[in-house]
Amino acid sequence: MTPKTTFSERPRALAWHTLSSEEVLIQLRSTVQGLSSQEAQQRLASNGLNELEEGRSISPLHIFFAQFKSLIIWVLIVAGVISGVLGEAVDAIAILAIVVLNALIGFYQEFNAEKSIAALKKMTAPHAKVRRDGIITLVPASGIVPGDILTFEAGDLVAADARLLTTASLQCIESALTGESEAEIKQAGTMAKVDVPLGDRENMVFMGTNIATGTGQAVVVATAMKTELGRIAGLISEADADKGTPLQQKLEAFGHILVWAALAIVALLFGLGLARGEKPMDLFLTAISLAVAAVPEGLPAVVTVALSLGVLRMARRGALVRKLAAVETLGSTSVICTDKTGTLTMGEMTVRALYVAGRSYTVSGQGYAPQGEIRFAGKVADADHLLPLQELATVLIGCNNAHLVQKDGRWQTVGDPTEGALLVAGAKAGGNHKRINGEMPKQGEFPFDSDRKLSSVIRSMPEGTLRAFVNGAPGPLLHRCTHLYTSAGIQLLSEDDRDAILAQTSIMATQALRVLGSAYHDLNNASPAALTIDLVERDLVFVGLTGMYDPPRPEAKETIARCHAAGIRVVMITGDHPQTAKAIAREIGLASSEDMAVAGVDLDRMSEGELRRRAPKIAVYARVTAEHKLRIVRALKANQSVVAMTGDGVNDAPAIKGADIGIAMGKSGTEVTKQAADMIITDDNIATILAAVEEGRGIYDNIRKTLQYLLAGSTGELLLMLLCVIVGLPTPLLPIHLLWINLVTDGLPALCLAIDPIDPDVMRRRPRLLSERITNPVFLRTMCLTGLLTAGVAFAVYYHGLQTGSTESARASVFAVLVFAELLRSFGGRSETKPVWRISLFTNINLLVVVALSLGIQLWSQHNEIFGRFLKTTSLPFAESFWLLALGAIPLVLLEMVKVTRNAWLQHKLHIKMVKI
């Protein structure tokens, strides 16, 4: 049978960007006049509608019943039914209520999941302008076919993948596909290289992207699922089946062990009892009660409460969780794959360096806020530098269409981000935007295009003449310059001057700065209407250079260091250029000078096996596509890493869904990405992701120590019962005693442990291995030791009671001491390493109140006749009750001494190791 081909394995279409416009039209059997209406209808019937396929819908009923797949849930259902059969209605109702509540919460969390493809459909254009029968007409985007000629202008949403035929100052925002927010310059020429990253295909436009400026015409080369957006939709649908979180998998494995252990204990006790000649019915009731007691029915409630409260804490820290069980996955995260722009960086272009009149300056300040200083040689530039800086500032502001606004206390740019950064730099250098616009009104402009790599604005000067202010790429700009602005005045531009300017450009570029040059041209008495590009952009006076970049977030470096201290690798995956990505990675400590930045074209040459081998050593991936990102995530997962993937664009959605934990950006994230994610970060900050990891680790710790508390108690009860049966003593605990102990000690105290504050040292540990069981050897040793100590104290009390009184009074004593021991031990259960006197009782006031109330109820039950009959126990004097309370503290005291001894031994081992080093 032929294996099914996955979407990502299907061959790509022709490399349309390498074909000339004439060759593309021939391939598609189309012309510049477009298709006829009849031909378009035939192609539509053949190719299908230009719509993305929706994933299979999941019914609410299916989601609800999926909550009952866990074996431990069915163990609890059986335990609840048996409790009801035994007449313990309260316990039965409590157990079944826990099961239903757990299912309802899980259903609520997951009901809105799996909507990524539907969200993608919202990104496609509802209508498009198409040339049909030689006439431009508006048609539904779903009716577009390969060979159609699209026309578009600023503000249009591209309806299909298309090869450009003509352009006029065309720029396209492709952030949804590439992750980079800057508009890409488009042109209709042919590209020679086949292996060109998606973001560098200048002669192509893609479905779901936006036209920023200019106009153009293009021939459609792909529609529906054959577009780049369609490929992403296909990748989302096949990204990865839900395998459950690490905690879900561990609890499921634990459930299997628990079932078989409970059955074995029931069978052993029943067999021993029969051998001693006890009544089969009494044995059956006791054995079943013990089995019910052995199952920690509070566990699902503990897990749900721990996760739910973790969700609330994370929401307060800026992380919104869409899938409840995914909270814990964060705690085992060993690799965080993150985008650069907006997550590690500010997402705002900022000018960092200026060069004018032969001098280099640095610029302080962040983002688009117009506050900052210009510094020369480490000091604030004084009056001697004022004139040259103002000259450069006038060009930066004069050749600019952006403006700044303050919204909710935050400065933002309206217009092109690069022009916004130049506007801010001009203000810091002494320029005044309002004055320049008032005194030098705009008379005309020639927008930036990819051929000239320049933009020009013509303004009237106060004296009545015209001046053109020009910004652009340093190379092309210098080529058109004949003079140079200096502090001594205007002079001819010599070859040495050109070399010095180009050398300064190279210095800025090596610092990962994007460099722009500035110049002007006095046009004297020319008429604005008569001006052309050739007349304006020649004989320019070179003024200076501006170096800008998207700076790292202030907290990024510290966050990366904290990740490394916690044993978490951070991998940068970006659509930006390799040099820029690597420079930022070095600056924030994510990569060293030896680390390589692997580009998307390099990934295309790697086999899956080679990528898996190299993935653990690669810190930076640049110029990557959606398919590359998914491959990277899968390669890291193949190395047994628990991978968290962050992103904001449509191109991130498949990898986000394929990761162990998908994280979408709340501010800049598309709806598609948010729907595919398990968690949404409201401030787009990597520090918030680390805070969420801390919460995940804390939640896992709380669930683990609560499970240990529950199982250690059950172990003590089982050992006591088993020991008494073996030595031939009467059964120490009746079924009602077992169920009461279970209710009092497995209920509220366990829930209080589940919401214990996070250990401050939790981020100094390495992540857990995927293979690590929740019940590891340390867990089991502690559980068995606790059970032995509890059973030992209880057996001694019971044996003493039998020797000095009746069986009923002995049972009352052992019943009381077990409850006391379990309640007191909850204080020690708060930490596996710290003794109880090193943890303030008041950091978990809920536990303190619950234990105090439970102890009071237990003491009251021993002196209330009605309650005593219900629990089948006899009255105990207060003095004896307090002695039993003191005896119940013995397991707690001994366990805390074990912690102290273990810590001292570990410190001694560490000291010896350090001495040897």
Residues annotated as part of the active site: 339
Element (H, E) at 905: helix 890-916
Q: What are 408's two structure tokens?
A: 């909710």
DSSP label of 729? P
**DSSP codes of every residue in 586-625:** HHTTSS-TT--EEEHHHHHHS-HHHHHHHGGG--EEES--
Question: Do residues 710 and 256 touch, judged by C-beta distance below 8 A?
Answer: no
Name which of 666, 553, 205, 214 is nearest 416 in CA terms: 214
Helices and strands: H and E segment counts in the chain: 34, 28
Residue type, 465: T
What are 860-863's contacts with CB under 8 Å, separation 24+? 862/812, 862/816
Q: Annotate 550-591 with three-state secondary structure.
A: CCECCCHHHHHHHHHHCCCEEEEECCCCHHHHHHHHHHCCCC
Residue type, 846: N
Phi then psi dihedrals of residue 348, to 5 deg: -135, 125
End-to-end Cα spacing for the chain: 61
Residue 9: partners with Cβ closer than 8 Å, 6 or more residues away:
none
Opening angle at CA 717, ends 711 and 721, nearest 5: 140
Tell me the three state secondary structure of residue 138: strand
433 vs 393: CA distance, rounded Å: 9
Tell me the three state secondary structure of residue 217: strand
Q: Is 530 exposed, middle or buried (0-12, 13-18, 19+ CB in 10 A)?
A: exposed
Question: Do residues 714 and 790 touch, judged by C-beta distance below 8 A?
Answer: no
123 vs 229: CA distance, rounded Å: 9
Instruction: Say how many residues make up the chain.
Output: 917
Question: Do residues 685 and 553 touch, judged by C-beta distance below 8 A?
Answer: yes
Element (H, E) at 312: helix 298-316
Give the HSE-up count for residue 554: Cα atoms under 13 Å, Cβ half-sphere: 3
Residue type, 223: T
Helices (H), 728-806: 735-746, 748-754, 777-804
Tell me the residue ranges of DSSP E strands in 450-588.
454-460, 466-472, 481-486, 489-492, 514-524, 540-549, 569-573
Query: How far apart, in Å, are the Cα atoms of 794 and each of 154, 715, 749?
Result: 81, 12, 20
